[in-house]
């Protein structure tokens, strides 16, 4: 019995030299995507009211791109595209301003505004009921379509938070264009 007890430490030592431990660690990720949008083009002023028309909008399968098509673009036309960007992942991520491409590119200019972070964008003052003519007037007079809210170069999104981006598209040409295609891309992985 004594001899068996004396062999246990040696046997345990040999066993531990051969022990291999495998561990797999899985981490989370930030999942940044476009989750909502608004797209309005200026149609006309009627009885002192700004009348807007909607655009045809498609969000890409991965939620990283949005394409809007406006029709009937002519002298004095402008448009606004609003986007809610959400972090539905488990890690925070910094979101820079978006990239915008316009076809045809001639006679169009853009301004990009980024607001947030918000837990509930509906209560933010930059998403609820918007007036595209008032937004344009505010932008021309103060440089910001929503003067009480700060426009950011980037927004740090914690999990469950959202940012709102508004893109102003201005047509400076004089000839009518049948349609304009705007593609907006998230600059975040």
Domain ranges of the chain: 32-185
Instruction: Note the pLDDT of residue 112.
Output: 95
Whole-prediction pTM: 0.83
pLDDT at 68 over 80: yes
Q: Is 64 helix (H, G, I), strand (E, B) or coil?
A: coil
For a pLDDT cut of 90, what percent of the chain falls above it?
68
Write out 136-177 in H/E/C secondary structure.
HHHHHHHCCCCCCCCCCCEEEECCCCEEEEEEEEEECCCCCE
């Amino acid at each position: 019995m004594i001899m068996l007890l004396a062999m246990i430490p040696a046997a345990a030592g040999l066993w531990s030299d051969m022990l291999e431990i495998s561990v797999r660690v899985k981490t989370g990720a930030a999942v940044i995507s476009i989750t909502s949008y608004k797209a309005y083009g200026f149609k006309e002023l009627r009885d002192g009211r700004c009348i807007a028309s909607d655009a045809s909008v498609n969000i890409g399968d991965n939620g990283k791109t949005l394409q809007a098509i406006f029709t009937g673009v002519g002298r004095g036309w402008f448009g606004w595209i609003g986007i809610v960007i959400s972090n539905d992942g488990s890690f925070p991520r910094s979101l820079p301003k978006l990239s915008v491409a316009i076809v045809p590119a001639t006679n169009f200019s853009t301004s990009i505004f980024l607001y947030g972070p918000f837990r509930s964008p509906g209560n933010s003052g930059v998403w609820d009921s918007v007036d595209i003519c008032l937004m344009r007037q505010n932008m021309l007079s103060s440089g910001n379509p929503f003067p009480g809210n700060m426009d950011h170069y980037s927004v740090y999104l914690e999990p469950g938070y959202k940012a709102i981006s508004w893109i102003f598209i201005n047509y400076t040409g004089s000839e009518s264009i049948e349609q304009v295609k705007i593609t907006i891309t998230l600059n975040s992985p």
